[in-house]
Amino acid sequence: MKWEGNRESDNVEDRRGGGGGGGGGFGFGGGSLSIGGVVIALILSFVFGINPLTLLGMADGGAPQQSAGQQAAGPTATANDPETRFMKTVLADTEDTWGALFSAQGAQYQPPKLVLFTGRTSTACGTGQSSTGPFYCPADRKVYIDLAFYRLMKERFHVSGEFAQAYVIAHEVGHHVQHLLGVSDQVHQAQQNTNETEGNALSVRLELQADCFAGVWAFHANRSRQILEQGDVEAALSAATAIGDDALQRQAQGYVVPDSFTHGTSAQRTRWFRTGLESGDVAQCDTFKARQL
Ligand SMILES: [Zn+2]
């Protein structure tokens, strides 16, 4: 992946080294996106057709409960090592890409913050722990990641490469886009009135749509900035495969699925990421209407 020299985002919050530590124990109770819900045939019809004012009103929708910890406020100095710069650059690329896609529809993209932490950290969705993997908290509109996750991807799942790492961020940013569009909110509301099986099925569709959105990002980022190099797509597909529910369940215990327990199978994740990547079209990401995932 080619990224050196591209714009770096100011929306990275570096909490590493400033408290935390520990970790261990699983569970990000309340679940950042353990949403469930309704049939959303309409969703994609208003995806992007939505009134920007409506987007602004979405702020708290679907926010998980749990006592919100004190949120670290104010700007913090961020490290300047290559890994941190890479994260800032990937985030900036998602900002530029989604910013353009939203404005093309007359809407304004409000970027999420990306929090780097180690061990555990407080979020508006409860205490985030690195053992949970990267996740998005809609209540504070932040993506959280402990970069140790990348080490784990490499050691346990044998997935490495910058683009595979970028895909992980793009997937979480995809959840943010779903939040802005009101998709996750609707799914969450619908989940209140359904059983667990149906709720989980909707969660899977939500996850697969985030994969598709990650693909949409990659399509446009590559068209604008030629970020992809030989083998990159395969690496990201390996990541999607490695962290599918079925693949994870084959792994020894001791690790929890990134950001949700229901992500879809490896084949499904691969397929939806590819759908976004090949089309660059948000409308193709209607996992809620798809008969076959
Ligand atoms: Zn997810």
Helix, coil or strand: residue 122: strand
Could you tell me the pTM of the whole model?
Answer: 0.78
Q: 145 alpha carbon to ligand 1 midpoint, in Å?
A: 12
The DSSP line for 42-77 is THHHHTTTS-HHHHHTTTTTT---SPPPPPP-S---
Q: What is the pLDDT of residue 57?
A: 29
Q: Which of 111, 132, 102, 97 is nearest to 261 (CA)?
A: 132
Assigned domain for 235 exists: yes
**Tokens 């599918």 label which residue?**
244
Q: 83 alpha carbon to ligand 1 midpoint, in Å?
A: 22
Q: Which of 230, 28, 228 is nearest to 146 (CA)?
A: 28
| DSSP tag of 130 | G
Nearest-angstrom CA–CA distance, 196 and 180: 25
Assigned domain for 252 exists: yes
Assigned domain for 173 exists: yes
Token pair of 39 as six digits: 């049939």
- Please give the distance of CA 72 from its chain centroid, rounded to a whole number: 21
Q: 124 alpha carbon to ligand 1 midpoint, in Å?
A: 17
Assigned domain for 246 exists: yes
Q: What is the pLDDT of residue 196?
A: 83
Assigned domain for 270 exists: yes
Q: 85 alpha carbon to ligand 1 midpoint, in Å?
A: 23
Q: 271 alpha carbon to ligand 1 midpoint, in Å?
A: 15
Assigned domain for 4 exists: no
Q: What is the pLDDT of residue 158?
A: 85
Contacts of 41 (CB under 8 A, 6+ apart): 288, 289
User: Does residue 274 contact residue 241 with C-beta atoms inside 8 Å?
Assistant: no
- In terms of DSSP H, where are the helices of 182-258? 183-191, 196-225, 232-242, 245-250
Assigned domain for 5 exists: no
Q: 224 alpha carbon to ligand 1 midpoint, in Å?
A: 25
Q: 283 alpha carbon to ligand 1 midpoint, in Å?
A: 19
Q: How many domains does the chain have?
A: 1
User: Does residue 3 contact residue 87 with C-beta atoms inside 8 Å?
Assistant: no
Q: 174 alpha carbon to ligand 1 midpoint, in Å?
A: 8
Nearest-angstrom CA–CA distance, 36 and 54: 21
Assigned domain for 254 exists: yes
Nearest-angstrom CA–CA distance, 49 and 168: 27
Q: 171 alpha carbon to ligand 1 midpoint, in Å?
A: 6
Q: 262 alpha carbon to ligand 1 midpoint, in Å?
A: 8
Q: What is the pLDDT of residue 110?
A: 98
Q: What is the pLDDT of residue 263?
A: 73
Q: What are the average pLDDT values for consecutive 10-residue runs of the chain, which has 293 residues?
A: 96 79 36 32 37 30 37 62 96 98 96 96 89 87 93 86 94 96 92 87 91 97 95 87 59 42 79 96 96 89
Q: 206 alpha carbon to ligand 1 midpoint, in Å?
A: 8
User: Does residue 116 contact residue 84 with C-beta atoms inside 8 Å?
Assistant: yes
Q: Which of 171, 243, 166 is nearest to 211 (CA)?
A: 171
Q: Which domain holds residue 201?
A: 12-285
